[in-house]
Amino acid sequence: MAKGGKAAAREFVWLQCSETGDLNYRTQIAVKGGIADKLKEGFQKYCPRLRRHTLHKIKRK
């Protein structure tokens, strides 16, 4: 029952590596009040192909 009300406020997105283009991570973000600027900038996450941390940006499918 709890999932029905919260599903509209959260959205699944992929985090795409800016160097290789791989979709390495799938996560949820809150989209109720709009996407924060910090989320638009991207995250430093580990890329298994390059074996180092790179910038990952949000990609919606």
pLDDT per residue, tens digit, the chain (61 aa), is: 456 555 568 899 999 999 999 999 999 988 887 777 778 899 999 999 999 999 999 998 8
C-alpha radius of gyration, the chain, whole number = 13
Q: Would you state the torsion angle of the CA atoms of residues 35, 40, 38, 27, taken in this order, to the nearest 10 degrees?
A: 70
Predicted pLDDT of residue 38? 78
Measure the CA–CA gap between 16 and 58, rounded to whole angstroms.
6
Residues 10, 27 contacting (CB under 8 angstroms): no
Predicted pLDDT of residue 16? 97
Architecture of 2-59 per CATH?
A: Single Sheet (2.20)
User: Taking the complete model, does pTM exceed 0.75, yes or no?
Assistant: yes
Predicted pLDDT of residue 48? 97
